[in-house]
């Protein structure tokens, strides 16, 4: 059970300490930035593309909305939002410069480019009420403090603004759950290690998803941060969940 011991050590050393987690997460994404998109689409078999479309469909951005795509990484969720037309302006913020540089390169093929900037989701460089909509895809789990990040997300939204949070969750369907857990804990970290050349990245993915307060627990975090009308949509047997909410 070598992998269990390694996972436990990673969780003890990184996931329980706020500063250690922030530094670990940034350095990890800095290292894997060049292979991030390939790994994403390969390991999810392209389903991540459909999840991002669904997130923006449900957000229902209106013409001339200003949207913040937080933890934007290489920008895919922001690009999806920008495709909806109607002069939507998308700003993408992330902690990792190498991830943002990849996104900047992808801007060349977009009709509505994302304005990328380096920023910490727990201390956003924007005024109160600066955005009509906010998206965050597979980023909230990586924040060192969930309360701080959700508080900032609510602060920078206008009253009546809407948020879409896309995040991994844990499937509950009997049968599927066992097969998926085996793939997620045992197979995916090995393929992830080979392609990303980072032994910890996909071990971290597994541990962080197992520890994330998903479903109703996460809805309570959102409500505590000030969001209302919190709804959840479970995607692909619950591998991921879309959380939608508004600022009152």
Ligand X SMILES: C[S@@+](CC[C@H](N)C(=O)[O-])C[C@H]1O[C@@H](n2cnc3c(N)ncnc32)[C@H](O)[C@@H]1O
Q: 139: closest CA among 197, 75, 84?
A: 75
The widest CA-to-CA distance across the chain, in whole angstroms, is 54
Of the ranges 22-30, 54-62, 183-191, 223-231, which one interacts with ligand X (CB under 6 A)?
22-30
Which of 7, 15, 29, 113 is in the footprint of ligand X by CB under 6 A? Answer: 29
User: Least Å distance between CB 23 and ligand X?
Assistant: 10
Strands 131-137 and 228-235: unpaired
Rounded to an integer, what distance in angstroms lies between the CA atom of residue 61 and that of residue 75?
Answer: 17
Q: How many CB atoms lie within 10 A of CB 207?
A: 20
Residues 74-133 that bind ligand X (CB under 6 A): 76-77, 94-96, 99, 120-122
User: Least Å distance between CB 88 and ligand X?
Assistant: 17
Residue nearest to ligand X (CB): 73
Which of 25, 163, 222, 240 is in the footprint of ligand X by CB under 6 A? Answer: 25
User: Least Å distance between CB 174 and ligand X?
Assistant: 28
- Any contact of residue 184 with ligand X (CB under 6 A)? no
User: Least Å distance between CB 137 and ligand X?
Assistant: 3
- Any contact of residue 73 with ligand X (CB under 6 A)? yes
Rounded to an integer, what distance in angstroms lies between the CA atom of residue 224 and that of residue 213?
Answer: 14
Question: What Cα–Cα distance (Å) separates residue 223 from each residue in 25, 127, 154, 184, 230?
Answer: 26, 21, 10, 30, 7
Residues 137-166 that bind ligand X (CB under 6 A): 137-139, 142-143
For tokens 């609510």, the residue is 154
For tokens 């627990």, the residue is 217
By the criterion CB under 6 A, which residues form the site for ligand X?
A: 25-26, 29, 40, 71-73, 76-77, 94-96, 99, 120-122, 137-139, 142-143
């Amino acid at each position: 059970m070598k992998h269990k011991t390694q996972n436990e050590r990673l969780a003890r050393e990184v996931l329980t300490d706020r500063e250690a987690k922030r530094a670990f997460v940034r350095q990890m994404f800095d290292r894997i930035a060049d292979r991030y998109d390939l790994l994403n689409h390969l390991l999810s078999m392209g389903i991540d593309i459909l999840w991002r479309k669904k997130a923006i469909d449900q957000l229902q951005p209106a013409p001339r909305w200003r949207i913040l795509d937080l933890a934007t990484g290489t920008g895919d969720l922001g690009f999806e939002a920008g495709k909806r037309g109607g002069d939507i302006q998308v700003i993408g913020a992330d902690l990792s410069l190498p991830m943002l540089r990849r996104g900047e390169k992808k801007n060349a093929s977009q009709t509505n480019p994302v304005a990328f900037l380096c920023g910490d989701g727990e201390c956003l460089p924007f005024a109160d009420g600066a955005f009509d909509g906010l998206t965050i895809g597979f980023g909230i789990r990586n924040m060192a403090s969930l309360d701080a990040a959700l508080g900032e997300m609510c602060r920078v939204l206008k009253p009546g603004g809407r948020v879409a949070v896309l995040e991994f969750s844990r499937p509950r369907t009997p049968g599927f759950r066992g097969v998926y857990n085996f793939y997620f804990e045992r197979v995916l970290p090995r393929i992830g290690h080979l392609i990303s050349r980072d032994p910890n990245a996909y071990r971290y993915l597994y541990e962080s998803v197992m520890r994330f307060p998903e479903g109703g627990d996460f809805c309570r975090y959102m409500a505590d941060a000030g969001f209302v009308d919190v709804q959840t949509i479970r995607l692909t047997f619950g591998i991921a969940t879309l959380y939608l909410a508004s600022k009152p």
